[in-house]
Each structure stands twice: as structure tokens, then as C-alpha cells.
């Protein structure tokens, strides 16, 4: 993976020639590596994602950001079960949210989702961001319906989507039910520190502990009445898709320290302990290859999954390719 990044847009990968249709000027460009971790390649992908997502925004509609997080135990288990746990997280989040919206607001819901699987220190931290319109086609009225606060909701700012407590409970129930089915079907890789879960007794205790936890699912309304959904899109684009390091600001004697946000202290940035190049390589590649028993895992660190309810023309402009070299 690091070798591809080093060869990106060099003669080793070849290139293409483009001719301008207006002046016939020919421009030669080296091919990109296309790796999702490449800082050069990810910039264009972020622009594409922003353009696509912006086209899905409905004018005059209030949008909410809803975030669902897996407990730390499942985030670690996901390292050897990436596709299974990604499906569990996104599917459980969407089903619990859509059912609560239908039950409380009586309209057909929609959401755009972005899956994140790590935090700034590259620790496993699986969570999904959902951009959710606070309105939709009415299920019983067949008219456009806006979300309204329930009686006794203690809503004071004018924004309301659904009751957060039932949403969290529904999300936990959906996810644990899906987790049980994955194990029953033999689709979970229980290796390394999780090998003990092959025992039915240990598994039952593990699930019981998950059931006792208060799972994280919170609803963030717009910061103000003048805020737009495009602001949330810009926020999501910052990390989608993007290399996992946010800023490597210093290189001295093969050391590469960087900043990360201290979540325990608001607006506080801390300096990561400096690592030699080999240590950085091992630390970074650890996000790609499962250390437990040498199991390789497919990378899906950030995935965009537009869900039901959105439409739009997402076509790309035609490129005027005239040759390759």
C-alpha cells in the first residue's frame, strides 16, 4: 500500500493525454495509484462526494445529523469481521431510525450515511453518520409532512426528529439480534483475544454485557435556524474519503509526529509521540492487516451508502481522452 502511494502520478504508472476541444492543446498526465489512503487521489474523491451529496439535498427542508456508535468491544471484534460488522452497524442504525420516524412522524424517511471505522489515533471506533431530512411523503396523508415535536418532549429550540431514548434501545436491540444471527450462522471470525467467545457460556455473558450497556445514538439538530444541510455535507467531506492521518507536520531524523484531538478536553490538541519510520509503517499497516493469526482483512475504512429516499443525476462529465503512454 505504501509503495503505491510512493509511485502515484509518476512515469512508472504510465499516463494519458487529453486534448482541449476548443484550442486543441494537449495535456499529459501521469496515472494515479487510486489507493484510498493516497493524499493526492483522495482530494478528487472528496470533491466528487461533495458534488453528489449536495445534489441530494432538498431545498427548504431541515436536516439532522444522527450518529450511531458501536460499543468498543464490537469495534475491536470488527477488525476481523469488517464486512459483517459494517453491514450490522449500517443496517441496524437505518432500521431503528426509519421505524422510529415512521412511528412518531408518519412519513417515509430517508438518509445519507457515512461509515467511519477509526478515530484520529487509528483506534477502532466504528460509527456511522446519517444526514436525515426532517420531512418526507406522509404515509397516511400522502402529503408532504414535516417532523413535529411530540407533546411533552420538552423541546425548546424548535427542532425535533424522534425521541432519542427509544431510538437507542431500538438500535441496541437490532444490532444484538443481528450479532446473534451472525454467530449462529458461523459468519463471525472469533480469533485472537475473542477466541474465548467460541464457548457458548462465554458468548452468552458477552452478549449480556452488551445488553446492559447504554448504546450511543444521538441526534444533532442544525446549530441555528439559518444553518443548511450543505454545512453538514462539508463537515462529512473533511474525512470522506481521506487518509487516516489528519496532519503530519514535522519530519526530523525519520520521525513523524502528528496532532490528534483530545476528546476528553474540548478544543485541545495533543502531540502524538514521535515514531520512527518503521514504527509508523507497522502502526499504519495494522489498520489493513489483522494481527490475530495472520488473517488478512479487506479495507473499508470509509464507505458512502446513500439509502432509500434520495434521487438525483449523479453522472460524471465526459473526459476527452486522446491516448495513453
Rounded mean pLDDT, 87-100: 96
pTM of the complete model: 0.71
pLDDT at 249: 42
Q: Does pLDDT of 33 surpass 80?
A: yes
Query: Which range among 45-49, 57-61, 260-264 shows the weakest confidence by mean pLDDT?
Result: 260-264
Query: Which range among 68-72, 168-172, 253-257 shows the weakest confidence by mean pLDDT?
Result: 253-257
Helix (H) or strand (E) holding 321: strand 321-324
Query: Which range among 20-29, 63-72, 291-300 shows the weakest confidence by mean pLDDT?
Result: 291-300
Residue linked to cell 451472525: 182
Would you say 68 and 126 are in contact if contact means Cβ atoms under 8 Å apart?
no
Would you say 146 and 175 are in contact if contact means Cβ atoms under 8 Å apart?
no
Q: Does pLDDT of 159 surpass 70?
A: yes
DSSP letter at 318 equals P
pLDDT in tens, 286-307: 544 333 333 333 333 333 333 3
pLDDT in tens, 249-288: 444 444 444 555 555 555 555 555 545 455 555 555 554 4
Q: Does pLDDT of 209 surpass 80?
A: yes
Amino acid at each position: 500500500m505504501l509503495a503505491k502511494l510512493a509511485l502515484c502520478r509518476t512515469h512508472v504508472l504510465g499516463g494519458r493525454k487529453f486534448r482541449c476541444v476548443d484550442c486543441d492543446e494537449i495535456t499529459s498526465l501521469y496515472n494515479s495509484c487510486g489507493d484510498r489512503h493516497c493524499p493526492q487521489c483522495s482530494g478528487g474523491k472528496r470533491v466528487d462526494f461533495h458534488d453528489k451529496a449536495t445534489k441530494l439535498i432538498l431545498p427548504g427542508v431541515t436536516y439532522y445529523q444522527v450518529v450511531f456508535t458501536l460499543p468498543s468491544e464490537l469495534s475491536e471484534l470488527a477488525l476481523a469481521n469488517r464486512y459483517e460488522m459494517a453491514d450490522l452497524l449500517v443496517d441496524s442504525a437505518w432500521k431503528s431510525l426509519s421505524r422510529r420516524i415512521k412511528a412518531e412522524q408518519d412519513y417515509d424517511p430517508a438518509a445519507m450515511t457515512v461509515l467511519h471505522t477509526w478515530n484520529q489515533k487509528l483506534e477502532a471506533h466504528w460509527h456511522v453518520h446519517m444526514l436525515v431530512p426532517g420531512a418526507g411523503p406522509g404515509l397516511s396523508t400522502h402529503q408532504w409532512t414535516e417532523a413535529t415535536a411530540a407533546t411533552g418532549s420538552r423541546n425548546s429550540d424548535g427542532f425535533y426528529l424522534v425521541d432519542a431514548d427509544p431510538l437507542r434501545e431500538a438500535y441496541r436491540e437490532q444490532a444484538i439480534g443481528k450479532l446473534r444471527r451472525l454467530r449462529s450462522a458461523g459468519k463471525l471470525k472469533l480469533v485472537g483475544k475473542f477466541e474465548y467467545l467460541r464457548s457458548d457460556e462465554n458468548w452468552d455473558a458477552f452478549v449480556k454485557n452488551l445488553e446492559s450497556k447504554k448504546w450511543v445514538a444521538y441526534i444533532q439538530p442544525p446549530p441555528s435556524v439559518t444553518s443548511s444541510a450543505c454545512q453538514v455535507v462539508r463537515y462529512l467531506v473533511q474525512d470522506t474519503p481521506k487518509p487516516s492521518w489528519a496532519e503530519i507536520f514535522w519530519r526530523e531524523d525519520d520521525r513523524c509526529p502528528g496532532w490528534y484531538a483530545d476528546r476528553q478536553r474540548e478544543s485541545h490538541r495533543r502531540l502524538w509521540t514521535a515514531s520512527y519510520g518503521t514504527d509508523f509503517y507497522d502502526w499504519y499497516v495494522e489498520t489493513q492487516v489483522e494481527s490475530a493469526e495472520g488473517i488478512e482483512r479487506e479495507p473499508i475504512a470509509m464507505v458512502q451508502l446513500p439509502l432509500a429516499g434520495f434521487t438525483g443525476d449523479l453522472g460524471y462529465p465526459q473526459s476527452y481522452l486522446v491516448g495513453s503512454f
